[in-house]
A = this chain, B = another copy of it.
C-alpha cells in the first residue's frame, strides 16, 4: 500500500480528483496554501495498492499538464487610448510524493 500526496493548483486538483475518482481511486483533499505552487493550491491524498501508483500518477499528470493561458491583465496607454494586452502565463504542474504505508485499515 502506498500513500500519494500530490500538490496541484486548485483548478487542476478538481480535474485530477474527478479523473481519479472515476477510476475508483479514493481521494481526500487537504486545504493548503502557498508553497510549491504560489497561488491557491490543494494537496490530494490518495491511498492505493503498489501496482496502481503508476496509473494514479498518470491521471494526475494528465490533469495538471503545464500549459500557457492568456489572461487580460496588462494594460498600457497608447495613442491617447488605454489598451489592454493579454499576457501569457504558465499554469499547471504538480509535485508528487509517494510514501510507503506500513499498515492500512478500512473499517
Contact = CB atoms under 8 A, between A and B. Distances in A.
A33 B27 CA distance: 9
B95 A57 contact: no
B95 A105 contact: yes
Interface residues of A, number: 42
A17 B32 contact: no
Interface string A54-78: 0001001100101000000000000
Given A53-B103, A99-B100, A106-B95, A26 B35 contact: yes
A79 interface: no
Contacts of A2: 102
A13 to B, nearest CB: 10
Contacts of A64: 107
Interface of A: 1-3, 5, 7, 17, 26-36, 41, 43, 45, 47, 53, 57, 60-61, 64, 66, 93-107
